[in-house]
Chain A
């Protein structure tokens, strides 16, 4: 997804550990309520569970682990955002846990700023940029990098 220049991109905003994250709406397949999860012994903590999405076995990722956020138990608002990403040139379907799903919105490319070097709690490599909407800041994570780096 292009997040620089004058392009705007359609983003799904979701709440995660008190922050608002924006992910490319085009990569989103569907949004599910919480479903039974199966733990995979020996799997990386980020993708320690599997879920059934319409007959497909899909890894469930908790992005909070990569951002060092506290992993609170699911609430009535918790959702699973099913996205498709390219891993090693292979389309891979992954479920992302979200504390709350907000809305689909347009973010103007011009309003996106590079990740500041200081004042960040998170590894800047995992973030593509910070979008601004009103007085709010929206974190645009680099989903592929989150899954391909350790």
Chain B
């Protein structure tokens, strides 16, 4: 086993299994007859129970056992997956999560209530506890001969044969004999290898599958045969003498009429003991996120080092050095793409969580809501996915709570009774667009306007485009909800949504039609670490403007230039665009270049021109965050290192556009 804390390994694995379980439960709720989610749920529960007890999470394991039993009965058709049952299972799933993550704070009474409801639903007052299953119906008893031989390195991988034997004993009457034929002489004995095989005569009411399940974690590496000895025998276990006459299990077993579950030992590199599902070994490994971050850092430095090298040899005539530099460029670009690819995960992992959210919220609010999704396979940086969770939860909550009308209102408005929320993700160039659309009543323009005027955010009667008006909802403390429900008013507001998305260098656009619904679109960069930038010069300083925000570059018209102190706006094809002279913002003392350039940038539907001395060209930018000492510095979102080894600052587009707007408002006010 690895030196990592096995408990942590289990916790991580359990988190994934619980997510699978939830997805399966929600699928099952939609299609109660579907076999596949039922099996997935059962497998997840079984693995959590098994690994849980293996890693010392006894409370979680024993709680899970009850749920697993119920699902086993569903698999056998003895129970049906009613909505009530799914509801209980979801509650149980949440409880298991607490039992694993924070056992000390688990509410035992809540757990018992869930079990009581489970017992009520599944129609059995007392659920059999693990390992204490007593056969109550002698007619179902069968005797099996179970022979198993673990892989020689099984002990090193953390398998404990005693636990397997205990589990077999728990199924009924077991006679266990150790087969020691393969144990080598003492001088050759390696104490960490497993040389013993076991023969077990097991009389049990449990079906064959239950016995197989005991070996579910080691099935790939274990030689296992399970044969019926006396089918449906009412007699108790056979005498021990019989057991001793068993053939040597190390002798290859002849082909078995009852399909022995015999698997050749697999290579050592495969499965560990925590591997749960008896399916082909997944071609993936689990890596701590910090290691990926470190890797990304190193690749970032390589990209910088290469840029320096390229600059150093740009004047060289040595073809060999040039060719090596090109080779390094190819390699470092490849390495960068691969590293970024490793960090990408499909947004399904994010969207999947919202099925449960919508289900619970729609029940809580008494609204019938259908959640649909598209583009779940679109990939995004893992860190980004994690940080997007809270903002999206908030937006979806808003859609459900404020956006979607109650059924009666919907029918009155000629809409279908069932409200709809659609989540979608798609690539657009180097960005990912994520959209949350509902078909509710839409944003209330008059209320937003009234509220904004009340809070002095806009002058009374100000003319605003829809997009400008909707941006107001992102202002701190801005809520148009008339009454706070249990759903709204908790957690974060739209201002925090905006801040989070800004922090990811993303954009938010809102569109809404009265009575037709609201659509919120987040535009997100593919990765947090490297962006394409436009390198510009202001005075002697060089700055990077994120390329996604750049619309065009134009020359500052001389007549505008002459009115230095006056109006600072341009006419770009009929549209009024305010502009900022960066040399003023940055207090540059160096005299300006004779022909000033303007880079037009956009954020949302706002456009602002930035006056610079020179546009130097595009530059692949590895983003470095600035230290705490510069936390208060506005206008910059980070820094990067240029090809000559010097540092350049990256402009914070959202901040600069906001500054441009203030300037424009001052002009309008004066």
A residues at B contact (CB < 8 Å)? 35-36, 38-44, 47, 50-52, 54-59, 61, 87-88, 90, 92-94, 147
Contacts and interface: CB of A to CB of B under 8 A. Distances in A.
B482 to A, nearest CB: 41
Interface in B614-670: 624, 626-630, 632-636, 639-641, 644-649
23 contacts: A36-B645, A38-B542, A38-B646, A38-B647, A40-B630, A40-B633, A41-B635, A43-B633, A50-B639, A52-B647, A54-B301, A55-B305, A57-B626, A57-B627, A57-B641, A57-B647, A59-B630, A92-B627, A92-B628, A92-B629, A93-B627, A94-B627, A94-B629
Given A38-B541, A39-B541, A51 B647 contact: yes
Contacts of B632: 44
B585 interface: yes
A150 B480 CA distance: 41
B267 interface: no
Contacts of B541: 38-39, 41
B587 interface: yes
Interface string B574-589: 0000000000011110
Interface string B72-109: 00000000000000000000000000000000000000
Interface string B336-366: 0000000000000000000000000000000
Nearest to B588: A41
Contacts of B627: 57-59, 92-94
Q: Chain B interface residue count: which class?
A: 20 to 34
A91 to B, nearest CB: 10
Contacts of B634: 42
B587 A41 contact: yes
B636 A40 contact: yes
A40 B628 contact: no
Contact of A52 (B300, B633, B645): B645
Contacts of B628: 87-88, 90, 92
Given A42-B634, A52-B646, A147 B629 contact: yes
A147 B630 CA distance: 11
A38 B648 contact: yes
Contacts of A47: 629-630
Contacts of B645: 35-36, 52
Q: Which of A39, A40, A56, A59 has the most chain B CB atoms closer than 10 A to its own CB? A: A40
Contact of A57 (B588, B633, B639, B644): B639
A54 B300 CA distance: 12
Contacts of B636: 40
A42 B635 contact: yes
A55 B640 CA distance: 9
Contacts, number: 75
A55 B302 CA distance: 9
A36 B633 CA distance: 21
Contacts of A88: 628
Interface string B106-142: 0000000000000000000000000000000000000
Interface string B302-319: 001100000000000000
B138 to A, nearest CB: 67
A50 B629 CA distance: 11
Contacts of A147: 629
Contacts of B305: 55
Interface centre among B585, B634, B640, B647 (most CB of A within 10 A): B647
B624 to A, nearest CB: 4
Nearest to A87: B628
Given A43-B630, A92-B629, A38 B644 contact: no
B649 A38 contact: yes
Interface string B193-219: 000000000000000000000000000
Name, among B300, B587, B624, the residue most crowded by chain A CB atoms within 10 Å (CB to CB): B624
Nearest first, the 9 closest Cβ-Cβ pairs linking A and B are A41-B586, A55-B301, A38-B647, A36-B646, A57-B624, A57-B639, A50-B647, A47-B629, A59-B629
Given A58-B627, A93-B627, A94-B627, 10 more contacts: A38-B541, A42-B634, A44-B629, A50-B647, A50-B649, A56-B624, A57-B640, A59-B629, A92-B627, A94-B629
